[in-house]
């Protein structure tokens, strides 16, 4: 290992072929202007995230581990090892790392629009339109589909939430924070844990009771994210957003109550019905009834494409996009009332559907 003032060296290559750069502590301090508190853009139990700039002008986000953290080093190592091996446009890219004994940091691409939670809660100036929310849902589902179905072995994120979905300047969504991720090598796709970990409000209730972790645990969390996109309600308030939403969709003309009122009706009613259908299917209490993320992504994409066509005035009469069926999902026991009386084939189909990073890393 180098001294603090040593020159940075090249690191390992990830699956993308991009070189993973090793940074010295002096370099990280320079990037963040000596860890200026004014540069803090995020903070957690065991780390602070600073906005910084490389010598070539590239903006980055620097996640620095707190020295007092107990679980931090293990989660940092998990994240670094995973992001060395995978690369996808809807996953936040790791650019480099610093692994000095008392000063560990990960350097990521900087995403200008912050996290989805901030954008939905009104903490920043951005207001997301209905079409933008659909595009974000598709992006996040695509990233999760890659983790579940295109990585070998598959990866379970275990902390899917709006605060871990970041947005770039074009509002492209990318999943972040892989410190709790698990790589599955078992043939049955189940991992038994001693404790359920994740974020309250997003945790799969079946996982909490059985301690059996599967891909479907991420699906539940993603369903909560979809409900947040629809409603912009806090996950944990007087009532959990899932319980509230499940009750509201039983009512006639439920969209007036469930869709974010700040949208002021500026959304496609059919796509709202479809998005709610997808979200509720993801938060089924029984994991076996939840769809695979590949199907969720396909249906979200179809929903988005149809909505964009309509908003651009290019959709032909009756030309609704077909939506893939949830072959592995049992019919929901929740009675669903569409808020519209659309006669399109798409609405009819949906109504029927509803019914019917290295091993040596951090070793010092």
Active-site residues: which are they?
A: 159
Return the DSSP state at 235.
Answer: S
- CB 35 within 8 Å of CB 50: yes
- Strands 94-100 and 165-167: what pairing? unpaired
Query: Given CA atoms 194, 200, 202, 206 in this order, what sign does their dihedral have?
Result: positive
| CA nearest neighbour of 26 among 37, 35, 38 | 35
| CA nearest neighbour of 22 among 82, 70, 72, 84 | 84
- Strands 103-109 and 94-100: what pairing? antiparallel
**123-150 exposure pattern, b = at least 16 Cβ within 10 A, e = fewer:** eeeeebebbbbbbbbbbbbbbbbbbbee
124: its two tokens: 């920043």
Cα 82 to Cα 64: distance, rounded to the nearest angstrom? 18
74: its two tokens: 């293990």
Cα 60 to Cα 73: distance, rounded to the nearest angstrom? 21
298: its two tokens: 């396909």
């Amino acid at each position: 290992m180098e001294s603090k003032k040593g020159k940075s060296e090249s690191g390992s290559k990830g699956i993308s072929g991009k070189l993973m750069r090793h940074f010295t502590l002096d370099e990280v301090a320079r990037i963040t202007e000596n860890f200026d508190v004014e540069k803090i853009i995020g903070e957690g139990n065991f780390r602070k995230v600073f906005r910084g700039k490389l010598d070539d002008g590239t903006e980055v986000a620097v996640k620095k581990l707190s020295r007092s953290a107990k679980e931090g080093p293990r989660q940092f190592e998990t994240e670094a090892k995973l992001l060395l091996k995978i690369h996808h446009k809807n996953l936040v890219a790791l650019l480099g790392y610093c692994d000095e004994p008392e000063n560990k940091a990960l350097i990521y691409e900087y995403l200008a629009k912050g996290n989805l939670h901030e954008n939905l809660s009104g903490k920043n100036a951005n207001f997301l339109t209905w079409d933008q929310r659909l595009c974000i849902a598709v992006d996040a589902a695509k990233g999760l589909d890659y983790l579940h179905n295109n990585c070998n072995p598959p990866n379970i994120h275990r902390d899917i939430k709006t605060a871990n979905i970041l947005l770039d300047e074009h509002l492209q969504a990318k999943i972040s924070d892989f410190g709790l991720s698990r790589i599955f090598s078992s043939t049955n796709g189940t991992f038994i844990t001693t404790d359920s970990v994740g974020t309250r409000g997003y945790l799969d209730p079946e996982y909490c009771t059985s301690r059996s972790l599967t891909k479907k645990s991420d699906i539940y969390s993603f369903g909560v994210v979809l409900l947040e996109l629809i409603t912009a309600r806090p996950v944990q308030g007087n009532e959990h957003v899932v319980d509230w939403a499940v009750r509201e969709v039983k009512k006639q003309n439920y969209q007036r109550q469930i869709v974010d009122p700040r949208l002021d009706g500026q959304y496609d009613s059919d796509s709202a019905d479809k998005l709610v259908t997808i979200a509720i299917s993801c938060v089924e209490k029984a994991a076996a009834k939840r769809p695979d993320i590949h199907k969720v992504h396909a249906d979200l994409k179809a929903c988005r494409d149809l909505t964009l066509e309509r908003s651009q005035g290019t959709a032909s009469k009756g030309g609704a996009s077909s939506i893939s069926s949830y072959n592995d999902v049992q019919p929901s026991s929740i009675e669903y009332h569409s808020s519209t009386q659309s006669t399109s084939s798409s609405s009819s189909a949906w109504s029927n559907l509803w019914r019917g990073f290295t091993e040596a890393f951090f070793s010092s």
